[in-house]
Amino acid sequence: MSMPSAMTQPPIPQAAERENYLNKEYGAWSWLFTTDHKRIALLYLISITFFFFIGGFFALLIRLELLTPAGDLVQADTYNKLFTMHGMVMVFFFLIPSIPAVLGNFLVPLMIGAKDLAFPKINLFSWYLYIIGGVMMMHCMLTGGVDTGWTFYAPFSTNFTNTKIVEAGLAIFVAGFSSILTGLNFVVTIHRMRAPGMTWSRLPLFIWAHYATSIIQLLGTPVIAVTIVLVAAERALHLGIFDPKLGGDPVLFQHLFWFYSHPAVYIMILPAMGVVTEIIACFSRKRIFGYSFVAFSSIAIAVFGFLVWAHHMFVAGISVYSALVFSFLSYAVALPSAIKVFNWTATLYKGSIHYDAPMLYAFGFLGLFTIGGLTGLFLAALGIDVHVTDTYFVVAHFHYIMVGGAVMGYLGGMHFWWPKISGRLYPEGWARLAALIVFIGFNLTFFPQFLLGYMGMPRRYYDYSHMPEFQVLNVLSTAGATVLGVGYLLPMVYFLWSMRYGKPASDNPWNAAGLEWKTTSPPTTFNFDEEPVVTWEAYNYEELDAPHKEEVPVAR
């Protein structure tokens, strides 16, 4: 296998003639009714990219408004809708599906040596559910939107707002089922469809990460589903479940909401961690340091992640004793993430490190996730949280993890597996530039927000004319956001460009370990010519780089 240089590679026509999942059938019907996990992954790719740019557009408007202290770009209600829709779209329609629905769908069967997921039709159905939810959300936004914040706390959301809560709630409910079905598919597939010899301890850590993610999707999402049902029922019928005037308790809403929404953030980060593990191993040319620890830390994050939800509620009126318990558990959940960071760092030691674009994204992830995670320690400290909760400190913290972490992981993964997905190489120079722009833009956007938060700027404020001293940092943040936007547009452009003009990729341009690289780029519809039989450990870079083979992956 592996790595002819561009000069000795066969000319383009021959590669394109070979049948693969992309050219097997043409026409909208063959895509809209496909059950091929790889095509479904691409359907998701298009849809989530669309929502990413919608959510990003809202973010741009938010940052533009915050350039000046006065509320002068949009009206207050409009601004409130902007940050709400930004949050809802980004969380439910971009971040939660992103890596699992695109990279997970594409790679899980390939990595375990299966021909498809366990339930291909359910996989297609989950995409349709996502689309239906997405259409509902778009309609909701276009006909007025929602202004409760993505957290839609009661009693504001149940009794005091006139915006379209029920419609948005239903959209999220439907999209939530998409998420549940994806998780269901992955769990059953990983349990039952591994190729002979692919034992649990030989699984790529990407699979472990997606397994843990799926557990969370399965057990957590139904709780927000039922919460949405209760909110809708209360709005429609004034039931009083969350209304104190009728004997209800608004804090109960918060418990139910955060019981899902905290584990949800682990749905967003665990897959990115899986991606980063694969990339670091490949571009250091060695097995990941501490395989079992990394695998079990994924599971630990999933488990502990369900036990910390009330750390979002330290000032909500819970008892001091509850707060103590949740603070303690929040430190417990931080530990497995720290362990991963150390293991990734240790993997670099005595590696043979290449600086290709995926690796640059992985480095970016290491830096930004570390900062994001460490600031979580601030928030878990009760005494500090009282001051910084509901301020821009929290906003900065979660964007470091979700954007600096999850989105970087997603982009790194898209670059790493792009040759496999599309059969083409992306332009490496542009990709490295984009990674750098994203890194710089990101830090410029969100680091000032830590300072703003500690200085006391609350969240969800569109007018800070009482505190003009906050303007300088806000301007910096907006400047960063524009740079970041450019960094995100670039890959869109060159990925599309590469589909037509990119150099054709060989089966394994990175000389990477993993079953997905043992088949063609792009793969055929049924993935493998023959069912693989696995007799080697994961990350067998020693073999791959053995002396008699060409040593360095030369993909260009």
Partner 1 sequence: MHDNSTVAVHDPALLHHFAEPQQQRDAASLGMWVFLATEVMFFGGLFCAYLVYRRWYFGDFAAASKSINMWLGATNTAVLICSSLTVVLAVWAAQTARRTLLIGSLVLTMLLGFAFLGIKGIEYRDKFVEHHVPGASFSFEHEEIPGHPGQYANPQHAQIFFSLYFVMTGLHALHMIIGLGIFLWLLIMAWKGRFTPEWHTPIEIGGLYWHFVDIVWIYLFPLLYLIDRHK
Partner 2 sequence: MAGHVDALYIFLLIVTGMMALLVFVLVIFFAARFRHRPGVRAEQIEGSTALEVTWSAIPFLIFMVIFGWGALVYFQERTPPDDATEVYVVAKQWMWKLEHAEGQREINELHVPVGRDVKLIMTSQDVIHSFYIPAFRIKQDVLPGRYTVEWFRATKPGVYHLFCAEYCGTQHSGMVGDIIVQEPAQYEAWINGGSGGPLSATGEKIFSELGCATCHRTDTQGRGPNLQGVFGKPVQLEDGRTVTADENYLRECILDPGAKRVKGFQPIMPTFQGLVTEEQVNALVAYIKSISPAKPEAVRAQAQPNAQPKGSQVQ
Residues that bind partner 1 (CB under 8 A): 19, 24, 109, 114-120, 180, 184, 187-189, 191-193, 218-223, 225-227, 229-230, 233-234, 237-241, 246-249, 252, 255-256, 259, 524-526, 528-531
Q: Which does 472 bind (CB under 5 to 8 A by kind): partner 1, partner 2, none?
A: none
Rule CB under 8 A: is residue 472 a binding residue for partner 2?
Answer: no
* Residue 221's binding partner out of partner 2, partner 1, none, with CB under 5 to 8 Å set by partner kind: partner 1
Please identify, among the stretches 190-198, 263-271, 366-374, 440-448, the one whose residues bind partner 2 according to the rule CB under 8 A: 366-374
Give a three-class secondary structure readout of 363-425.
HHHHHHHHHHHHHHHHHHCHHHHHHHCCEHHHHHHHHHHHHHHHHHHHHHHHHHHHHHHHCEC
Name the minimum Å distance from CB 185 to partner 1. Answer: 8
CB closer to partner 2 out of 38 and 285: 285
> Looking at this protein, which amino acid is placed at residue 459?
R
Of 132 and 316, nearer to partner 2 (C-beta) is 316
Cα 13 from chain centre: 36
> Which option in partner 1, partner 2, none does residue 520 bind, with CB closer than 5 to 8 A by kind?
none
Q: What does 374 bind: partner 2, partner 1, none (CB cut-off 5 to 8 Å by kind)?
A: partner 2
Token digits of residue 67: 């350039």
CB under 5 to 8 A by kind: which of partner 1, partner 2, none does 334 bind? partner 2
- Cβ of residue 509: shortest distance to partner 1, in angstroms? 23
* 303 lies in the site for partner 2, by CB under 8 A: no
Q: Which does 464 bind (CB under 5 to 8 A by kind): partner 1, partner 2, none?
A: partner 2
With contacts defined by CB under 8 A, how many residues of the chain interact with partner 2?
Answer: 98
CB closer to partner 1 out of 114 and 207: 114
Could you tell me if 545 and 511 are in contact, meaning their C-beta atoms sit under 8 angstroms apart?
yes
Amino acid 85 reads M
- Residue 383 C-beta: closest distance to partner 2, Å: 3
Using CA atoms, how far apart are residues 511 and 54, in angstroms rounded to an integer? 37
What is each CA distance from 68 to 86, 185, 395, 468, 482, in whole angstroms? 20, 48, 19, 8, 16
The item of partner 1, partner 2, none sharing an interface with residue 296, based on CB under 5 to 8 Å by kind, is none
Contacts of 127 (CB under 8 A, 6+ apart): 40, 43, 44, 47, 101, 178
Nearer to partner 1, 57 or 526 (CB): 526
> Is the CB of 236 or the CB of 346 nearer to partner 1?
236
Two structure tokens written together for 151: 């957290």
Interface region with partner 2, contact rule CB under 8 A, candidates 38-46, 74-82, 222-230, 406-414: 74-82
Write the DSSP symbol of residue 159. I
CB of 222 to partner 1, least distance (A): 4
Residue 432's binding partner out of partner 1, partner 2, none, with CB under 5 to 8 Å set by partner kind: none
Give yes or no for residue 52 binding partner 2 (CB under 8 A).
no
For residue 156, the cross-strand partners are: none
Task: Write the CA distances from 249 to 132, 155, 163, integer angstroms.
Answer: 32, 9, 22
**Least distance from C-beta 407 to partner 2, angstroms?**
20
Residues 248-287 touching partner 2, rule: CB under 8 A, are 249-252, 255, 284-287
Q: Which does 138 bind (CB under 5 to 8 A by kind): partner 1, partner 2, none?
A: none
CB of 246 to partner 1, least distance (A): 5
Largest interatomic CA distance in the chain: 78
β-bridge mates for residue 424, sequence order: 504
Among 76, 236, 472, 493, binds partner 2 (CB under 8 A): 76
Check binding of 459 to partner 2 (CB under 8 A).
yes
C-alpha span between 507 and 420 (Å, rounded): 7
Instruction: Please list the residues that pair with 391 across neighbouring strands.
Output: 458
| Cβ contact 73:154 at 8 Å | no
- Tell me how far apart the alpha carbons of residues 331 and 124 are, in angstroms, rounded to a whole number: 39
- Between CA 494 and CA 347 the distance in angstroms is 31
In angstroms, the CA 286 to CA 282 distance is 7
| Residue 548 in contact with partner 2, rule: CB under 8 A | no
Interface mask toward partner 2 for 138-157; x: CB under 8 A: ---------xxx---x-xx-
Residue 115 engages partner 2 in binding (rule: CB under 8 A): no
CA 291 to chain CA mean position, Å:
22
Which residue lies nearer to partner 2 by CB, 235 or 354?
354
CA distances to 232, 451, 484, 490 from 481, rounded to whole Å, are 35, 16, 5, 14
**Residue keyed to tokens 């409910």:** 173
Site for partner 2 in 427-456 (CB under 8 A): 454-456
| Stretch of 196-204, 431-439, 500-508, 544-552 lying at the interface with partner 2 (CB under 8 A) | 544-552
Residue with tokens 């404020």: 461
| Residues 306-365, interacting with partner 2 (CB under 8 A) | 314-324, 327-328, 331, 334-335, 338-339, 341-343, 345-346, 348-355, 363
Which ranges constitute the DSSP H helices of 66-97? 76-88
CB of 319 to partner 2, least distance (A): 4
Q: Which residues contact 541 (CB under 8 A, 6 or more apart)?
A: 281, 282, 285, 286, 287, 513
